[in-house]
Structure 1
Amino acid sequence: MNELQLIKESLEGNRKSLATLINSIQEYVFNISLRFLWDRLDAEDATQEILVKVITNLGKFENKSKFKTWVYRIATNYLINFKKTDIEKVLVSFDIYAEDLKTFKGPKEYNLPDRDLLEKELKTSCTLAMLQCLNREHRVAFILGSILKLKSTIGAEVTNTSPENFRKRLEKSRKVLGGFLNTNCGVYNPKNSCRCNARVNSALKCGRIVKGNLNFADKVEFYNEEMEELGSLSGIYQNHGSFKNNIDFVGQLNELIQSKKIMQ
Structure 2
Amino acid sequence: MEEQLIKSCLEGDKRSLEKLIKSIDQLVYNLSIRFLWNKADAEDATQEILLKVITNLSKYQGKSKFNTWVYRIATNYLINQKKTSFEKRPISFSQFSEELNSINDPVSYDLPDSGLLEKEMKTGCTLAMLQCLSRELRIVFILGSILKIKSNVACEIIEISPENFRKRLQKSRKLIGSFLNSNCGVYNTANKCRCNKRIHIAIASKRIVKEDLNFVDNIDVYNEEMEELNSMTGIYSNHGDFINKSDFYKELNQLIASKRIFNEI
Structure 1 length normalisation: TM-score?
Answer: 0.96
1:208 aligned partner: 207
User: Does the CA-based 8 Å contact 2:227-2:235 persist in structure 1?
Assistant: no
Deviates most, 48-57 or 214-223: 214-223
Deviating above 6 A after TM superposition, structure 1's stretches of 4 or more consecutive aligned residues are none
Give the number of equivalent residue pairs. 263
1:30 aligned partner: 29
Provide the secondary structure at the position in 2 that maps to 1:87. coil
Alignment of 1:40-51 (within 5 A): 40-51=39-50
Q: Shift in Å at residue 20 of structure 1?
A: 0.6
Q: Which amino acid aligns with 2:163?
A: E
1:118 aligned partner: 117
2:138 aligned partner: 139
Q: Which amino acid aligns with 1:89?
A: K
Q: Please give the per-residue CA displacement for 1:171-210, whole angstroms capped at 9, x wherever unaligned.
A: 1100000000000000000111000001000000111000
Q: Shift in Å at residue 89 of structure 1?
A: 3.0
> Which ranges in structure 1 are unaligned for 5 or more consecutive residues?
none
Q: Please give the per-residue CA displacement for 1:213-251, whole angstroms capped at 9, x wherever unaligned.
A: 000112111101122533211110000000011211011
With a CA cutoff of 8 Å and minimum separation of 6, indicate the structure with the bigger relative contact order: 2
Q: Which amino acid aligns with 1:206?
A: S
CA distance in 2, matches of 1:90, 1:29: 25
User: Does the CA-based 8 Å contact 2:146-2:233 persist in structure 1?
Assistant: yes
Provide the secondary structure at the position in 1 that maps to 2:155. helix
CA RMSD of aligned residues (A): 1.4
User: Does the CA-based 8 Å contact 1:106-1:202 persist in structure 2?
Assistant: no
Q: Which amino acid aligns with 1:88?
A: E
CA distance in 2, matches of 1:41, 1:50: 14
Change in Cα spacing, 1:107 to 1:92, as seen in structure 2 (3 Å) is closer
Q: Shift in Å at residue 107 of structure 1?
A: 5.0
Q: Shift in Å at residue 256 of structure 1?
A: 1.4
Change in Cα spacing, 1:21 to 1:112, as seen in structure 2 (3 Å) is same
Provide the secondary structure at the position in 1 that maps to 2:224. coil
User: Does the CA-based 8 Å contact 1:122-1:196 persist in structure 2?
Assistant: yes
Alignment of 1:64-143 (within 5 A): 64-104=63-103, 108-143=107-142
1:59 aligns with 2:58: yes
> Which ranges in structure 2 are unaligned for 5 or more consecutive residues?
none
Q: Which amino acid aligns with 1:99?
A: E
1:167 aligned partner: 166
